[in-house]
Amino acid sequence: MYASVIVEIGVKAVDKTFDYKVPSEFTKNIKVGMRVKVPFGKMELEGFVLEIKDKIDSNYEVKEIISLVDTEPILTKEMLLMGDFIVESTLCSKISAYQAMLPKALKAKNKVSLNKKYDKYILLNKNNDEITLYINKCRYEKQKELLNKLLIEKEIKINAITSEITTLLKHELIKIEEREAYRYKVEKDVNYKEIILNEDQNKVVNKIIEHKNESKTFLLYGVTGSGKTEVYMNVIDSVLKDGKTAIMLVPEISLTPQIVKRFVNRFGDNVAILHSGLSDGEKYDEYRKIQQGIVKIVVGARSAIFAPLSNIGVIVIDEEHTNTYKQEDSNPRYNARDIALWRSKYHNCPVILGSATPSLESFARAGNHVYELLTLTKRPSNSILPIVHIVDMKEEVKKNNFIFSELLIDKINEKLNKHEQIILLLNRRGYSSMLTCSSCGHVEKCPRCDISLTYHKTSNMLRCHYCGYFKKKIDKCSNCGSTDIKDYGMGTQKLEEELKKLFPSANIIRMDMDTTSRKGAHAQIIKDFGEHKYDILVGTQMIAKGLDFPLVTLVGVMNADMSLSIPDFRSAERTFQLLSQVSGRAGRGDLKGEVIIQTYNNKHYSIVLAKDHNYLSFYKEEMSIRKKLNYPPYYFITLVNISCKDYELGFEHANKIGDYLKKNLEENTIVLGPTMANMFKINNIYHFQCIIKYRHDNKLKSILKILDERYKTENKVNVEINVEPTRL
């Protein structure tokens, strides 16, 4: 018997299976999908068994498998097929496709040994009469106290074996049981009451349930606060009653605490959580709960789409427009939406894509009846959409108001006096965006990247947000030696500082990547703000979506046009989505909400239409521009990134690749470039790119595969192919 094994090795050229002989002692137990340890050259590596066969054609000596790592397959039949789909659709290596599906503890080449955690419980080992007789005769109070407690509670969790426990064990009056403990726990709210759906919500739920045994995609377009989460939970409740399972995806870790709480309140221990904020041990526990069928619902970020559930009844992608569902920075560059649609076909179940600001691609597909459009046009109960004010900061600067407009200051004071809460969004972390010498104009830049360093005041450090480089804040210009150093621009840290000066009695908390790096920080900040321990929440885009605080009546957006300056065809769409989403945090309870958008570009259609909550007009305006410029959804896009440590060599190969694409792709396909990438130099590596725009090109996939194969063995130049990138 032989096994074809794919090994974990960080060389693109080694993307194939290798045959190994199966020793006789393993033949009864070895299965496809298991991890095995095998000899590979002078190394011993772990790999996955992809095929078992009786004979092979081989001209070389076939080595034997060293050991079986698992007792049951880690990769199921569905996961193996899904791996094939990912390889075909993203042109990644097969091993990277499989690795993407697994938590760290189950990956091949895993160096971390994770053990199951167990809790100890003591229970009575005799009948009540015998226990009572012992209590009556016993002279030791601690023994009597423990036995009396056990008569009432039946079992007690213990952390240590005390002397009284040792004695009672010796007399065989009690026994110890070990039970597997799961490291991640969310307590259920005892005051939870299930929300009754309104007529519009019920219509949406019933429509989806009508098709719950079909592979069908629904786009749920509902205004912020319209109760989309309640719709999701009612559909999930229906499929659970059919004995099926469900996946619920959220775009950011920051959203998981509130969503998880709502799901645990509704479904109790039937929920597992998967996201990058968990420890390796917690991920391992949650994954095994799913694998063993202990839970039926998985809630998590992007990678939760790979959860090893069987018999899936529905897949939900909340805030479907968010670019975090696409993995951009490493292989495989998959989109969770595409995996969801594949699994929908595999399980014959619906997919729900929900958003108040759907991506143009999704809304266009709904218009073409590829997806079915469902709508929720108003908020339930007494809640209405907030009133939005646009403030022209060009006029405010004339009054020396550089950070806060007069209107925003007045409204913050008003809300504080009413004991209501405020959210302020600034989509840039750190204290200031750059340090500049006033004498010579020199900007302090990262030595490894083509970007200015961001000043972080609390640590007094200059940091690069791309490669992680940092150094102490300079007192003298590194170019001319002048001490006239000024910081320009503003990040969330500086905004928080300025707020404390203006509103000294207000309790202010900041939520960005700097304040949430510690485990559990997201959940703690959200919990504290929800309990009104703070009056003002300052944050980056992580506070813009999904959060629900009934006392928030004012949202302020600082530098609303910041994202418009990003050289990307989606910049207007992202600006509209961000403003609409963060505006939706205001007035979600019984209190009326207001939003103040501060901008230097108050006439831009994305800002004006966000003020009016007018998605449909924005969609029409943006679609007309996309059509003229041949961008999605009218054209598909593939990005070819060429990177090299040597500028000249990278430039040479980028031109060769650009010429090759132009000569070999179909006539109607557009190839732009090669050009320097928007972030040209990162960590001392130069990046060039070619953008391919196409409607239909039968040659494209084969040409890209040839290109990929050609550069698998090229050590000095790296080529990465990104199908349908979210940013250029």
Give the pLDDT band (50/70/90) at residue 713: confident
The alpha-carbon radius of gyration of the chain (Å, integer) is 29
Picking from 416, 710, 691, 678, the residue whose alpha carbon sits closest to that of residue 554 is 416
**How far does CA 367 lie from the centroid of its chain?**
28
DSSP string, 449-493: SSSBPEEETTTTEEE-TTT--EEEPPSS-TTT--S-EEEES--HH
Structure tokens at 108: 């091949």
The share of the chain scoring above pLDDT 70, in percent, equals 98
Structure tokens at 534: 């703070």
Structure tokens at 556: 């302020």
Q: Which residue has the tokens 């240590």?
A: 160
Which pLDDT does position 113 carry in this prediction? 52
pLDDT in tens, 122-161: 999 999 999 999 999 999 999 999 999 999 999 999 999 9
Through-space distance between the first and last CA atoms of the chain, rounded to whole angstroms: 49
**How far does CA 280 lie from the centroid of its chain?**
16
What residues contact residue 576 under an 8 Å CB cut-off, 6+ apart? 357, 606, 607, 609, 610, 615, 618, 622
- Beta carbons of 490 and 403 less than 8 angstroms apart: yes
C-alpha 200/C-alpha 227 separation (Å) is: 10
The three-class DSSP label of residue 720 is: strand
The three-class DSSP label of residue 173 is: coil
Amino acid at residue number 646: D
Which pLDDT does position 230 carry in this prediction? 96
Decide if pLDDT at 382 tops 70: no
Decide if pLDDT at 575 tops 90: yes
C-alpha 413/C-alpha 592 separation (Å) is: 16
What residues contact residue 601 under an 8 Å CB cut-off, 6+ apart? 560, 561, 564, 607
- Beta carbons of 93 and 12 less than 8 angstroms apart: yes
Amino acid at residue number 511: M
Whether omega before 332 lies within 30 degrees of 0, making that bond cis, reads: yes
Picking from 230, 225, 227, 259, the residue whose alpha carbon sits closest to that of residue 592 is 225
Give the residue, 379 or 619, on which the prediction is more confident: 619
What residues contact residue 386 under an 8 Å CB cut-off, 6+ apart? 555, 583, 584, 586, 587, 592, 593, 594, 595
Q: Which residue has the tokens 């199966």?
A: 22
Give the pLDDT band (50/70/90) at residue 179: confident
Q: At 55, which helix (H) or strand (E)?
A: none
pLDDT in tens, 24-63: 999 999 999 999 999 998 889 999 999 999 998 877 789 9
Taken in order 544, 545, 548, 553, the sign of the CA dihedral is positive
C-alpha 637/C-alpha 602 separation (Å) is: 31
The mean pLDDT of 269-294, rounded to a whole number, is: 88
C-alpha 422/C-alpha 553 separation (Å) is: 6
- Beta carbons of 650 and 717 less than 8 angstroms apart: yes
Picking from 467, 468, 476, 466, the residue whose alpha carbon sits closest to that of residue 444 is 476
Which pLDDT does position 488 carry in this prediction? 78
C-alpha 207/C-alpha 510 separation (Å) is: 41
CA-based max dimension of the chain: 97
The mean pLDDT of 395-411, rounded to a whole number, is: 94
Q: For the chain, what's the residue count?
A: 728
The mean pLDDT of 170-197, rounded to a whole number, is: 85
Give the pairing of strands 372-376 and 217-222.
parallel
Tell me the backbone φ, ψ of residue 25, rounded to 5 degrees. Answer: -70, -10
Which pLDDT does position 548 carry in this prediction? 86
The mean pLDDT of 359-372, rounded to a whole number, is: 97
Which pLDDT does position 595 carry in this prediction? 96
Output b/e per residue, 447-467; b: 16+ Cβ within 10 A. Answer: ebbbbbbbbbbeeebbbbbeb
The three-class DSSP label of residue 220 is: strand
Least confident of 157-166, 205-214, 312-321, 411-420: 157-166
Structure tokens at 17: 């299976």
Give the pairing of strands 351-355 and 217-222.
parallel
Picking from 527, 587, 546, the residue whose alpha carbon sits closest to that of residue 259 is 546
The mean pLDDT of 221-226, rounded to a whole number, is: 92
Question: Residue 470: beta bridge partners?
Answer: 463
- Beta carbons of 373 and 221 less than 8 angstroms apart: yes
The three-class DSSP label of residue 41 is: coil
Tell me the backbone φ, ψ of residue 276, rounded to 5 degrees. Answer: -70, -10
Residue 674 exposure: Cα atoms within 13 Å on the Cβ side: 23
Picking from 371, 345, 78, the residue whose alpha carbon sits closest to that of residue 215 is 345
Which pLDDT does position 64 carry in this prediction? 95
Q: At 422, which helix (H) or strand (E)?
A: strand 421-425
